[in-house]
């Protein structure tokens, strides 16, 4: 439990070698701190990080400590990749407990492809060069599963994304050539009457297959990859399907879902599925909302259709899908389900949804949310057409606030809840799904709380945020801004305001992904400190002789282990942790856009010639 303190203090003492009085003060402070930490030692190791949160000590951790921590992540990448190479290569993924491999994603070595840019960024040259050799020789027409088919979504985000981002970083021409080879094998996927992609392709017969009702995340999480591929290769055929998708979404009738894209889509007609008006930011939907903002950013903020769709989505999320739990005031985002009374919130909060705080923070950082006219958006008109249902109401509610701050506030509160879902557990790692306890289910939304605050005299007077915060506190009301609860972990399961629906931790990245973006956007070092606590938990609970392993139940330490190491652990989880601790900024978030598998692509502008060649028109 004292490791962190001692490590931090030693580094600080080293830093202050020249200043004797400061050094003495620091030693006294350390003794006091150790006494306080000792007092709380029965709370468990995760609590120590919490104490530092409260003490606001994160900002004083010196560079040398962060460099050391980034180096530790690099060692973790080496360890995980060595295990994959020794026991699973050239199959897709490692089974760390049995020391074997398995292939669920075409059998082309998905871990090698998905790790390319991580290995390159971290300077792991030998590993990177060995992975390149595999990329060069794989036959994308040979699939090693019984059906002999290629699942489109996973193949694009992991394989195509991995090759393209490694190409963007290294400019190795073979990577672009192989990315084009793969996109060409996948080409039949668009052979539906709407041009929306089906689920899978058989590369031998050149036929695509899948349900007539497509799932949002799967039909619309490839635009970034194809847009960058078109830019890098100069080939129009890669951009045409992106235009088609944009067109379908931009002109869709979204009246049932108030402007937000629903989960189910009719692949034949290219419209929302008839009996489907469920919305979600978790499974089946997540990456599509992410791609709306990121497609706009990738194209240097010229693709206004995607910006409008992003605003529709976030306004609906902010006003309808965010809730507070009753006791701990945990802010969470949920989805809706079909019931006899219509669409109702499920109050399920997924680990997958923990990417949302990072996305909101990225939007707040990059968009002029309070001066949308600068981006050519008429906020009063947004959502006013009948085909957006009640969207205009949401736009008006949100416009009553400083929208940028509102997005950042939601981002902070949601990330806090994601963090607490980790810090609460004996393992220090968060569950895959929680069912949240709600006030009066379905009636008390975060929007209600915000509405009450907006109507208060403080907000009416347009008081600056910090003054409103002070007045809020001084008013003696509830003390804190709703949703920004005290980061105090709760050990007793009954008192947590949630139960676990899926207890496992699957080495997923979403929480540390959001911490990374929040750190970059706000400069608040607590996100780094929390990331470090998560890294320590990964080392303690999931590290094996051969790699890192999924947990079946986060509520027991040492954890009950699964037997897999998904490729996204190297592509995303460890990459985001490395970037979070790195003192350099190798991928500035204003210049690069991460795909949903954490593969970065560079922001670019179309030249006039490209605009003509690709037939790019503005909406
Ligand atoms: C990743 O493969 C991608 O981020 C995907 O969009 C959904 N989440 C998994 C990891 O949890």
Mean pLDDT to the nearest integer, 496-525: 97
The secondary structure element, H or E, covering residue 208 is strand 207-209
Instruction: Return the SS3 of 445.
Output: strand
Indicate whether this model's pTM tops 0.85: yes
Q: Which residue is closest in CA terms to ligand 1's atom 8? A: 352
Q: In this model, does residue 54 exceed pLDDT 50? A: no
Q: Which ligand 1 atom is at minimum distance from the Cα of 351?
A: 11
Q: Which ligand 1 atom is at minimum distance from the Cα of 506?
A: 11
Distance 565 CA to ligand 1 centre (A): 13
pLDDT class for 439, splitting at 50, 70, 90?
low
Tell me if 287 CB under 6 Å of ligand 1: yes
Q: Which residue is closest in CA terms to ligand 1's atom 11? A: 508
Q: In this model, does residue 340 exceed pLDDT 80? A: no
Tell me if 246 CB under 6 Å of ligand 1: no
Structure tokens belonging to residue 172: 């190795």
Give residue for tokens 């004083």: 60
Residues sharing a CB contact under 8 Å with residue 129, sequence separation 6 or more, in sequence order: none
CA 237 to chain centre: 29
Tell me if 351 CB under 6 Å of ligand 1: no
Mutate to test the pocket of ligand 1, among 115, 286, 432 (most ligand atoms within 8 A of CB): 286
pLDDT tens, position by position, 554-570: 999 998 999 999 999 99
Q: Which residue is closest in CA terms to ligand 1's atom 1? A: 597
Q: In this model, does residue 485 exceed pLDDT 80? A: no
- Does residue 7 or residue 605 have the better pLDDT? 605
Which of 54-58, 110-114, 301-305, 424-428 bottoms out in mean pLDDT, i.e. has the lowest?
54-58
pLDDT class for 475, splitting at 50, 70, 90?
low
Q: Which ligand 1 atom is at minimum distance from the Cα of 290?
A: 6
Residues sharing a CB contact under 8 Å with residue 460, sequence separation 6 or more, in sequence order: none
Mean pLDDT to the nearest integer, 4-28: 45
pLDDT at 59: 82
Q: Which ligand 1 atom is at minimum distance from the Cα of 508?
A: 11
Closest CA to 165 of 577, 606, 595, 605: 595
Distance 354 CA to ligand 1 centre (A): 11
Q: Which ligand 1 atom is at minimum distance from the Cα of 355?
A: 4
Mean pLDDT to the nearest integer, 516-536: 97
Bridge partners of 207, per DSSP, are: 202
pLDDT class for 466, splitting at 50, 70, 90?
very low
Q: Which ligand 1 atom is at minimum distance from the Cα of 221?
A: 6
pLDDT at 199: 98
pLDDT tens, position by position, 265-299: 999 999 999 987 899 999 999 999 999 999 999 99
Q: Which ligand 1 atom is at minimum distance from the Cα of 287?
A: 6
Bridge partners of 500, per DSSP, are: 434
pLDDT tens, position by position, 82-106: 999 999 999 999 999 999 999 999 9
Distance 499 CA to ligand 1 centre (A): 23
Mutate to test the pocket of ligand 1, among 93, 510, 574, 599 (most ligand atoms within 8 A of CB): 510
Structure tokens belonging to residue 238: 């890669």
Tell me if 597 CB under 6 Å of ligand 1: yes
Cβ atoms of 77 and 122 closer than 8 Å: yes
Q: In this model, does residue 369 exceed pLDDT 70? A: yes
Q: Which residue is closest in CA terms to ligand 1's atom 10? A: 508
Tell me if 594 CB under 6 Å of ligand 1: no
Q: Report residue 464: phi and psi, to 5°.
A: -55, 155
pLDDT class for 437, splitting at 50, 70, 90?
confident
pLDDT tens, position by position, 310-322: 999 999 998 889 8
**Cβ neighbours, 10 Å, residue 354:** 30
- Please tell me the distance from the alpha carbon of residue 612 to that of residue 610, in angstroms, as a whole number: 5
- Does residue 454 or residue 499 have the better pLDDT? 499
Mutate to test the pocket of ligand 1, among 220, 512, 597, 599 (most ligand atoms within 8 A of CB): 597
Q: In this model, does residue 48 exceed pLDDT 50? A: no
Structure tokens belonging to residue 54: 């409260």
Tell me if 290 CB under 6 Å of ligand 1: no
Query: Mean of the per-residue pLDDT values for the chain?
Result: 87
Tell me if 508 CB under 6 Å of ligand 1: yes
Alpha helix (H) ranges present in 251-376? 286-298, 304-316, 356-366
Q: In this model, does residue 35 exceed pLDDT 80? A: no
Distance 597 CA to ligand 1 centre (A): 6
- Does residue 129 or residue 19 have the better pLDDT? 129
Q: In this model, does residue 455 exceed pLDDT 80? A: no
Q: In this model, does residue 604 exceed pLDDT 90? A: yes
Instruction: Return the SS3 of 488.
Output: coil
Listing DSSP states for 564-607 in one string gives -B-THIIIIIHHHHHHHH-SS-SS-TTTEEE-TTS-EEE-----
Q: In this model, does residue 122 exceed pLDDT 50? A: yes
Q: In this model, does residue 27 exceed pLDDT 70? A: no
Tell me if 596 CB under 6 Å of ligand 1: yes
Alpha helix (H) ranges present in 375-462? 391-399, 403-423, 446-455, 457-460
Which of 4-13, 363-372, 421-430, 498-507 bottoms out in mean pLDDT, i.e. has the lowest?
4-13
Which of 32-41, 191-200, 477-486, 578-587 bottoms out in mean pLDDT, i.e. has the lowest?
32-41
Mean pLDDT to the nearest integer, 304-310: 96
Distance 595 CA to ligand 1 centre (A): 10
Tell me if 93 CB under 6 Å of ligand 1: no
- Does residue 18 or residue 158 have the better pLDDT? 158
Distance 508 CA to ligand 1 centre (A): 7
pLDDT class for 352, splitting at 50, 70, 90?
very high
């Amino acid at each position: 439990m004292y490791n962190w303190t001692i490590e931090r203090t030693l580094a600080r003492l080293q830093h202050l070698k020249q200043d004797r009085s400061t050094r003495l003060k620091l030693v006294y402070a350390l003794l006091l701190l150790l006494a306080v930490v000792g007092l709380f030692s029965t709370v468990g190791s995760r609590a120590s990080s919490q104490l530092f949160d409260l003490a606001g000590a994160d900002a004083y951790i010196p560079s040398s400590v962060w460099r050391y921590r980034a180096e530790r992540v690099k060692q973790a990448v080496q360890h995980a990749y060595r295990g994959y190479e020794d026991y699973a290569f050239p199959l897709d993924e490692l089974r760390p407990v049995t020391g074997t491999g398995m292939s669920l994603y075409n059998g082309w070595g998905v871990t090698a492809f998905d790790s390319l840019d991580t290995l390159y960024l971290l300077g792991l040259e030998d590993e990177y060069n060995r992975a390149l050799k595999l990329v060069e020789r794989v036959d994308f027409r040979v699939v090693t599963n019984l059906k002999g088919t290629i699942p489109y979504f996973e193949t694009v985000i992991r394989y195509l994304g991995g090759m393209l981002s490694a190409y963007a970083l290294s400019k190795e021409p073979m990577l672009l050539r192989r990315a084009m080879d793969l996109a060409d094998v996948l080409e039949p996927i668009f052979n539906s009457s709407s041009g929306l992609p089906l689920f899978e392709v058989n590369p031998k017969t050149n036929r695509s297959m899948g349900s007539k009702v497509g799932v949002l995340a799967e039909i619309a999480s490839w635009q970034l990859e194809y847009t960058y591929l078109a830019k890098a290769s100069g080939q129009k055929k890669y951009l045409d399907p992106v235009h088609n998708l944009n067109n379908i979404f931009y002109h869709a009738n979204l009246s049932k879902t108030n402007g937000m894209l629903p989960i189910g889509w009719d692949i034949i007609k290219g419209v929302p599925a008839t009996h489907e008006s469920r919305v979600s930011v978790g499974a089946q939907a997540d990456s599509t909302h992410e791609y709306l903002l990121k497609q706009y950013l990738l194209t240097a903020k010229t693709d206004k259709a995607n910006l409008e769709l992003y605003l529709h989505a976030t306004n609906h999320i902010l006003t309808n899908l965010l809730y507070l739990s009753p006791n701990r005031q945990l802010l969470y985002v949920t989805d809706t389900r079909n019931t006899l009374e219509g669409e109702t919130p499920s109050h399920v909060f997924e680990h997958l949804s923990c990417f949302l705080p990072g996305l909101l923070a990225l939007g707040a950082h990059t968009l002029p949310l309070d001066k949308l006219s600068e981006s050519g958006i008429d906020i009063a008109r947004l959502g006013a057409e009948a085909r957006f249902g009640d969207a205009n109401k949401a736009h008006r509610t949100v416009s009553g606030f400083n929208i940028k701050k509102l997005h950042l506030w939601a981002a902070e509160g949601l990330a806090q809840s994601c963090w607490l879902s980790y810090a609460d557990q004996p393992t220090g790692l968060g569950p895959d799904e929680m069912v949240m306890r709600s006030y009066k289910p379905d009636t008390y939304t975060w929007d209600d709380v915000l509405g009450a605050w907006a109507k208060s005299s403080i907000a009416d007077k347009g008081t600056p945020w910090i003054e409103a915060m002070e007045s809020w506190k001084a008013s003696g009301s509830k003390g804190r801004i709703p949703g920004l609860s005290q980061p105090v972990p709760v050990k007793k399961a009954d008192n947590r305001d949630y139960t676990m629906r899926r207890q496992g931790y699957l080495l997923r990245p979403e929480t540390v992904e959001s911490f990374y973006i929040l750190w970059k956007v706000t400069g608040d070092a607590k996100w780094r400190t929390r990331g470090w606590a998560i890294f320590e938990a990964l080392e303690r609970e999931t590290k094996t002789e051969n790699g890192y392993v999924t947990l079946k139940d986060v509520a027991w330490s040492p954890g009950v282990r699964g037997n897999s190491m998904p490729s996204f652990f190297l592509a995303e989880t460890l990459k985001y942790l490395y970037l979070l601790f790195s003192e350099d900024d190798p991928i500035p978030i204003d210049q690069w856009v991460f795909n949903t598998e954490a593969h970065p692509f560079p922001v670019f502008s179309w030249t006039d010639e490209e605009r003509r060649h690709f037939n790019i028109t503005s909406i």
